Chains A and B, each alone.
Chain A
Amino acid sequence: MTMAEPASADAKAHRSALDRFLKEVERKALRMAELGTRNREDAMDLVQEAMLGFVRHYARKPSDQWAPLFYRVLDSRLQDFHRRQTVRRRWRVWLKPFADDDDHGNDPLAQAADAETLGPAHQAQGRQALGELDCALQALPPRQRQAFLLRIWEGFDGAMTAGIMGCSEGSVKTHLSRAMNTLRERLEDHR
């Protein structure tokens, strides 16, 4: 028997274990990303990037460390997304006076509503479609939402959540407590 055979068998088993792991987390990851981005396409991109980053850098780590490492990568991608959005919003505000001077009156793209600045009626429709829970979770500040989803939904303990989010355990407790208070108020109103 050659040495290549067991190595190849190991590689196959490893790939299949990774496939199972990613399959287990992919829907939750997509849901988390959707809540963070409010957009399925962006969410899908983030999940793809997180899977790639995880496989490239951490696939050789012990399998019991995969979940926190995967969510660490996803959380990092989500933070990048929010940073980019913040910068984009600042530029949009800054450029608005100049844009108003241009003749965009007939440009349908210029007239199109931004997903984040839809009117109250449209927002109300969206709320109904998305469901109360989605709206309540989406309304949370990003770090509060992540703390809530990782602690309560994914079930990581405080220390692990802090490690994933790159903050202190105390910060996780604060984020979680605020998230719970907001969710209790909002969801109780709809009961």
Chain B
Amino acid sequence: MSSLPDTDQLSERIRAQLDDSLQDYDAVTLSRLNQARQRALEALPHRTAPRWQWPAIGFAAALSLMLVLGWQRNPEPIGDASDSEWMASVLSDDEMALLASDDELEMFQNLEFYAWLEQQQDWDGSSS
């Protein structure tokens, strides 16, 4: 029986095998990956607000929140509008999308990781 490889040798061997296996994908699979990539790129957000607009957006979000909280304390319908119509009139399109989409909520759940990632980068930058 041959001797056991140490961790580094084993890791190296597995890494090499996994790298090699990436060349085994057939043309159909590669084409599907390409299509998946193109579909994802189609979902690229077309614009983001410039930094100078952020305070205004923050203010608008805070105002929306205050309106929503005010509505919760006094939940009588305004005029003849239904709750959903009223909500749509109070919240911005982005906020409505956030409420409607699981994806957006997931992104907010990942904010902690993103903050950590930025901290790491700041630390790397200051230490180098």
Contacts and interface: CB of A to CB of B under 8 A. Distances in A.
Interface in B73-128: 103-104, 106-107, 110, 113-114, 116-118, 120-121
A65 B117 contact: yes
A75 B98 CA distance: 22
Contacts of B36: 26, 44, 47-48, 51
A188 B41 CA distance: 43
Interface stretch (A84-92, A99-107, A110-118, A152-160): A152-160
B29 A18 contact: no
B4 interface: yes
Interface in A41-67: 44, 47-48, 51-62, 64-65
B44 A15 contact: yes
Given A51-B37, A57-B103, A163-B117, A180 B22 contact: no
Interface in B1-50: 2, 4-5, 7, 10-11, 14-15, 17-18, 21-22, 25, 29, 32-33, 36-37, 39-41, 43-46, 48
B41 A56 contact: no
A52 B116 contact: no
A68 interface: yes
Contacts of B21: 31
A163 B118 CA distance: 12
Contacts of B113: 72, 163-164, 166
Given A26-B37, A31-B21, A55-B41, A180 B103 contact: no
B5 A184 contact: yes
A164 to B, nearest CB: 8
B18 A56 contact: no
A73 B45 CA distance: 17
Nearest to B118: A65
A56 B15 contact: no
Contacts of A62: 121
Interface string A161-186: 00110100000000000001001100
A135 interface: no
Given A48-B36, A51-B37, A55-B41, A152 B117 contact: no
Contacts of B2: 188, 191
- Among all A-B residue pairs, the 9 with the closest Cβ atoms: A51-B40, A57-B107, A48-B36, A27-B22, A55-B40, A26-B33, A22-B37, A152-B11, A52-B40
21 contacts: A11-B46, A19-B37, A19-B41, A23-B37, A26-B36, A27-B33, A28-B22, A40-B29, A51-B37, A53-B103, A55-B41, A55-B43, A60-B48, A133-B14, A133-B17, A152-B14, A159-B120, A160-B120, A163-B116, A163-B120, A184-B4
